[in-house]
Structure formats: structure tokens, C-alpha cells
Amino acid sequence: MKQGQGPRAISMLPAQEPAPRSGLLAHVAVAVGGRGPDQLFTYEVPAKWVGAVAPGQRVQVPFGNRELIGVVFAVGDEPPPAGMRVRPLADLVDREPCLDAHMLDLARWLAERTLCSLAQAASALLPPPGSEPRPQICYNPLPGVDPGRALARAPAQSRAWAVISAEPGLARDELLQRGVKPGALAALVERGWVAALPREGRRDPWVETPAHELPQAPPEPTPDQERALESLRPALQEPHYGGFLLWGVTGSGKTEVYLRAIAEVVRAGRQAIVLVPEIALTPQTVGNFRRRFGTQVAVLHSALGVGERHAEWLRARQGEVAVVIGARSAVFAPLPRLGLIVVDEEHEPSYKQEEAPRYHARDVALWRAQRLGIPVILGSATPDLETFDAAQRGELERLDLPARVAARPLPEVRTVDLRDEAESALFAPELHQALERHLGSGHQVLLFLNRRGFAPVLLCRACGFVSRCQQCEVAMCYHDSDHSLHCHYCGARGAVPRTCPRCRGHMLRLRGLGTERVAQEVSRLFPQARVLRMDLDTTGSKGAHRRIYEDFRAGRADVLVGTQMVAKGWDVAGVTLVGVVDADTALHHPDYRGSERTFQLLCQVAGRAGRGEEPGEVLIQTRTPEHPAIIAAATHDYAGFARQELAARAAASFPPFGRLLRILSWAPEAHAAESALRAVADALREIVPPGVDLWGPAQAPLARLRGAYRWHLALRGADGTELRRLARTALDAAGTPKTGARLAADPDPQSML
């Protein structure tokens, strides 16, 4: 703990009469520099706040000539360093602690595990600043009022009165969502029939619950599901730590196992967290859980409004809900009686945060479960190879669901070799004929392409010029929706040039394809088909994920074209055909996980077909049909793929047979990024022991992003703790770069791009 080290933490008071001291010191994490769990600064607690300051509370503190918000991690009456007086706290942000002892321990572990500052770790556990609920006006019928016939000729007011009478206390937004007209609401208040009163502003992001989401009786479990539940029950009924890998083929009913396991936890008065990898999956998951648990379900993810997110966080912290559902950040939900954590589709790379703190939600779930002594379920049809290996070695108990529910067969999968097809062809004859057949039969189709936009490259055939982003060293993608070029990394946009900027020729051509072009081609070939598209471009508005899911699930669209958002978890009974437009997009990345990612995506998207009464068909278009990942995906052979890939990983000492740590440097000038990282590499060479490999430094594959040049290096060794110690020592020795470069360590990176 830094007891006043440096002028920013503790400073000498001016030469004047010292203020009376309380004798109480607060040790505060403030968002400035530092790596690891010991970055605390010490302040005096003014006498007026003695007894009002506790660990887990946010406070405002003087820091140099600024005031910052920090989190108190400890309060004590030990004396400050000799001859120095500490500065007092400036203000209290919270009236009571936001983080309990468990969450403070989690912040310390997170800072150590991800090599971030303690303040960065603590901020990940808190709702976004400035999101506190604001007072809302709620509407209640006044006692003894009965408008009766007075509303006979005012249907809008009659409708408003009926809603307010049935559900008193709703806010204006909630009433409008139920069809109440603003004018009718104002009229009822003006006539003295309804009172408008302030209340604490909590907004329910799922206030409209479709009929299919109302509570329903659970189906009978299959024998495989019952066997899995029997293995889970000891850890559920007499809570103790247990790590379980629920390995089930697509459509085998993993969600039903989750639901029944959580029901046992809830009956015992405890609570559960359910993680999903994509926000796009949240509407379906919330529907599944609301059918079973009603409104005792809270939702936490970054697509919520800040007020909604804070309201859901408060419901969780105050113990008002049974289940919290969300993407990776929901793993930090502050449930006071947490009894179970579920990580669905645990293999997904989206569970890794790519900015500080660079945590993996699966690791956090395992840590919380071990610390609290509760079970954790990791579910997947295509487990992460590291998770699968952990189960093979007995670190996790494996629960198998080898067959689909109701004995439905897995879909037939065929590969379509594109090597003899024209480069411009979107659909080979086999896929075109399949589209005709399935759409003609009134079934639904899912087309998968993990690339958005219309065309990823604008190329000059005369001189080879490629239009690139001025801030990133990547090609600009053409979007037909606004007839402009987009950078998918920094968001920059530009006009399409009429002539080649290099040779002034007229040979500019679009190359490649994205979801926008696929959707247009489907509409051209099948004009009667109703086509939806789901990617980052169509889901930017609030509630878009839910609207697209509901429309497709309800049969209001025949074809859904999407990126990886639609490749996992979706359960739409009407889908009988899945077409993978291009299976090769991830195979050739400079990343050792490329084969695994391709296999997982293909298996997951194939699993969307044939989940109803009709059998499913899957066509995978590829120019590398002989690749082991594609062969294994086409035959649903996870075990065979895992054996082959794990053997290759073992030979190279890659995870799970070794650990990696990446250090990244970035700066506006290329030489600054390079020199900063070379200083770290020089420090590492002095301390790297035998058995640890140092690779680099070198330019990152994505050498420039968002105006910053990027360099990286990697450490490989057997012990992740040792790699983190080496990285932290080297970063501290290199110090803060004077060139304006920034440095970051990424333990267990999910991508080397």
C-alpha cells in the first residue's frame, strides 16, 4: 500500500494552523497509472465523516490540482508517514458502500490477474458514472374516483384510465409503451382523477413482455438432461464449489438444464447469473427465463441505456431478483445470495474484454464460484479447447448431452467447393437450388457470412490501388446503404472516388462480399422472400436485436442474413436451411486459434437448422474443402477435431500446454511505439529465465488502428503467474514512455492481431 509515496498521494499542508485530525485514514484506489492490486493512495477522513466512510464506498479526493473519484479499499487509524500530513477527502459520492468484501476481493484479484490498476478493476464492478436513476413521475388513480360515464365519449382517456387503474404507479414512458396517449394522460391529471407523483426512477428494459414469454410449466427432461441434473444436484443442494462442462450437441437442451438447475437454487433462496456471449442472444434468453421465473429476471449489458443499466444493477445489489442475464460484464453482478453461475457458449471469444481490465468472463466466473463455494456450469456444443482439456484432466466434471431433444437428427451438412466458381458468384448452383426448394416449401432460411457491408475492398484493376483508411492500415469497406466507404475499426467514412486516386484510371472495382450484398442478392433472386439482416449496421438502434429476433421467430421474415450474431444460441423452429456463404474468412488470420474459431462458428451456425419438426440441411461454401476444420465441422466431429488440434498445440507449447502474455505498444508516431516496446523488451531480456520464450518486438499484424501505430511482443511459458510477474517487472523498469506511447499487457490473449 502506498502510504503517501509521491506528491500526488500525500502532500505537505501549507504553513498555517493545521486542521483538527480525526486520526482515521482512508486508502483509496484512484484512476491514475499503476498496475496490480497495491495502487492505493491515502487520505484523511474529516471528523464530520467519521463513521460514514467504509470500504467499498466511492469518494471524491484531491489529486494534484484536480479532484477525482476513487473507491475506498480500507479504513484504519494507523499514523501517516513521519513528518507528513495527508490531505482530507473532498466529498462522499455514496452514502453507503457500493462494493461488499467479496467484490473488493474480486477487484484486487482482477487487478493482479489482468495487470491493470486497482481503480480500473473497481470501475468494472460498478455501473457507469452518472447513471444514477433520476426521479420519475408516476401516475396513480385518486382514491374514491370513478369517472364512469364521463369517459364514454373519450376512448383515449378511457383506455388510459383502464391501464392506470389496473397498474397504478407506472411512469409516463411505461404508460406510453402500453398504448396510453400523452394527451389523454394529461387530461386525466387535469380533471383531478389521476395523481402525478415523483418516484425513484427505475426503468424496466423489458416492460413489454410478449405472450410467449409469460410463465409456463417446464417440459419433462430427457434422460440425458436428468443424468446431468443428478450430477449437479449435490453442489446445488448443499452448496459447494464444483466446475462443470455441459457438453451437448446443438439442440440437445442445454438451456433446460440451466433452467432446472437455477430453479433449485432459487427455491433455496439463492440467486444465479447467466452469461451469454452476444447481446443479440439476450432477447431469446430473457424470454426463456421469464417464461420460467416471471419478472424475477434482471438484464445487464452495454446496449442498455445508462439509467436502465443502473436500475438493473441496483435491483441485483439489493437482492430483488432471482436471475441476472447478460453479456460478459454481467459476471460482476453484485448479487448478495449468489448460488450458481452459468456461462453459456463458453467458447466464445467475445467473453474476453479487449480493453483494461482485460479479463475473461469465464475466468471471473470460475474465481467467484471457487471463492463463494458455489457451482459453475460452462456450456457449449464446441467447448474451448482449453476448457475441454481441463475436463479431460479432471479439473472440470464433464456432463454430456449427446443427442438432440425429441430424437431430432443433426442436420445433414455438405460442403460446396467454390474453386471452380467465378469469384463474383455469391451462391453456387447447389445453394441456389436449396434456397429455391426450402423457400418454395414455406420454410425459413439462415444465411451466414461473418463480414458486414457490401464489399470489403475497392480495388483499381489497372494499378492495384486499394482504398484504405487514413487512420488505420485496413481496407475501407463499401456500404451500399449510404454509397460510401466505411472503416470497420475506427468508424471513419469517405466518399467513393470516381477515378483511381493513384493512376487516375477508371478501373475501380468492388471485390469480395458482405452481408449487405448477400441480402440484396437474395431479394433480387427471390423477390417474394421477406429478408432481414442482422449485423452491427442493423442493430445500432436501441431494441434492434430484440425486434429482429422477434420478427424472425414469429415468421414475419423468410430469410435472415447475418454475421456471427446469428451463429449461436438461436432456436427458431422454422429454419430448415443454413447456408454458409463463405467459410474461409477466419482460416487465414495470423492467429493460432484460426482453425478452432472456424470449426466452432461452422458447427454453431449449422446447429441452427432442423430444430423444429422438419429436418435441417446445411451447405458450406468454401475454397478449402480439404481443411481439417471444415471436414470436422461437416461431420459434426468435435472429438476428432479436438484430438488433432490439441496434438498440434502440444507440439508448439501453445495453450493449454503453455501460457501466453502479449504486451502491446501504440503511439501516433511509429518510432515512438517501437522505441517504447523495445525498452520493455530490453528489460525482459535481463530477467527472462530459461523455459520462457520472448518473441518480438515486431509490428502488430494490424499495424495501425485509429491513428496509432502498433507494436507487440509475446511471452510464452508454462506458468501464467510467472509471465505476469515478468511483464509487470519489465513494464515498471521501462517506466512511462517519454514519447507519448502507451503500453498494455494482455495475459492469455484471445487474438494476436
User: What pLDDT is stored for residue 508 in this prediction?
Assistant: 96
For residue 630, the SS3 value is helix
pLDDT digits (tens, 9 = 90+) for 53-96: 999 999 999 998 999 999 999 999 887 777 667 899 999 998 88
The answer to whether position 386 is within a domain reads yes
Mean pLDDT of 136-148: 78
Interval 541-570: pLDDT, tens? 777 888 898 899 999 999 999 999 888 777
What pLDDT is attached to residue 211? 41
The number of helices, as runs of H, and strands, as runs of E, in the chain is: 19, 30
Least confident of 45-54, 408-417, 517-526, 587-596: 587-596
**Please, are residues 534 and 447 in contact by the beta-carbon 8 Å criterion?**
no
> Is 205 inside any structural domain?
no
Residue 208 resides in a domain: no
Q: Is residue 635 over pLDDT 70?
A: yes
Instruction: Tell me, yes or no, whether 275 and 231 share the same domain.
Output: yes
Average pLDDT, the chain: 89
Q: What is the band of 130 on the pLDDT scale with cuts at 50, 70, 90?
A: low
Taking only the tens place, the pLDDT of each residue in 239-256 is 999 999 999 999 999 999
Same domain, 590 and 570: yes
The answer as to whether 670 is a domain residue is yes
The count of domains in the chain is 6
pLDDT score for 329: 94
**Residue 134: per-residue pLDDT:** 58
**CB within 8 Å of 561: residues ≥ 6 apart:** 447, 449, 515, 518, 519, 522, 531, 532, 533, 534
Q: In this structure, are 677 and 743 located in the same domain?
A: yes
Give the model confidence (pLDDT) of 638-670 as tens digits. 999 999 999 999 999 999 999 999 999 999 999
Residue with more model confidence, 742 or 285:
742
- Output the nine-digit C-alpha cell for 684: 525482459
Pair (337, 248) in one structural domain: yes
CA distance 631 to 269: 47
Q: Are residues 118 and 169 in the same domain?
A: no
Residues 432 and 345 in one domain: no
Relative to beta strand 659-667, strand 742-747 is: antiparallel
CATH label of the domain that carries residue 718? 3.30.70.360
Last residue within a domain, chosen from 648, 674, 696: 648
Round to whole Å and give the CA distance between 273 and 323: 6
What is residue 363's three-state secondary structure?
Answer: helix
For residues 434 and 447, membership in a common domain is answered with: yes
Q: Are residues 418 and 536 in the same domain?
A: yes
The boundaries of the domain holding residue 437 are 408-453+513-648
User: Does the pLDDT value for residue 131 go beyond 60?
Assistant: no
Question: Is 412 domain-assigned?
Answer: yes
Residue 560 belongs to some domain of the structure: yes
> What's the confidence (pLDDT) of residue 132?
60
Q: Is residue 15 part of a domain?
A: no
Q: What DSSP line would sit under 386-410, residue for residue?
A: HHHHHHHTTSSEEEEE-S-GGGPPP
Dump pLDDT digits (tens) for 677-733: 999 999 999 999 999 999 999 999 999 999 999 999 999 999 999 999 999 999 999
Same domain, 53 and 105: yes
Q: Which residues of 523-552 are buried (b: 16+ CB within 10 A; e: fewer)?
A: eeebeeeebbbbbebbbeeeeebbebbbeb
Residue 13 is predicted with a pLDDT of 38
208 vs 571 pLDDT, higher one: 571
Whether the per-residue pLDDT at 173 is higher than 90: the answer is no
Residue 226 Cα to chain centre, angstroms: 30
3-class DSSP state for residue 234?
Answer: helix
pLDDT digits (tens, 9 = 90+) for 157-167: 888 888 888 88
Higher pLDDT, 36 or 254: 254
How do residues 271-318 score in pLDDT, each as one tens digit?
A: 999 999 987 777 788 888 988 988 889 988 877 777 778 888 988 998
The whole-angstrom separation of Cα 720 and Cα 722 is: 5
Q: What is the mean pLDDT of residues 223-227?
A: 97
Please indicate, yes or no, whether residues 267 and 320 belong to a single structural domain of this protein. Answer: yes
Would you state the pLDDT for residue 207?
Answer: 45
The neighbour count for residue 142, using CB atoms within 10 Å, is: 11
Assign residue 576 the CATH number of its domain. Answer: 3.40.50.300
The most confident of the ranges 70-84, 177-191, 468-482 is: 468-482
End residue of a domain, out of 406, 437, 463: 406
Do 340 and 292 reside in the same domain of the chain? yes
Q: Is the pLDDT score of 408 beyond 50? A: yes
Residue 1 inside a domain? The answer is: no
The pLDDT value recorded for residue 135 is 59
25 contacts: CB under 8 Å, gap ≥ 6 = 42, 43, 44, 45, 75, 76, 77, 78, 80, 86
Boundary (domain end) residue, out of 593, 622, 648? 648
- Span 330-379, pLDDT tens digits: 999 999 999 999 999 999 999 999 999 999 999 999 999 999 999 999 99
| Residue 218 and residue 345 in one domain | yes
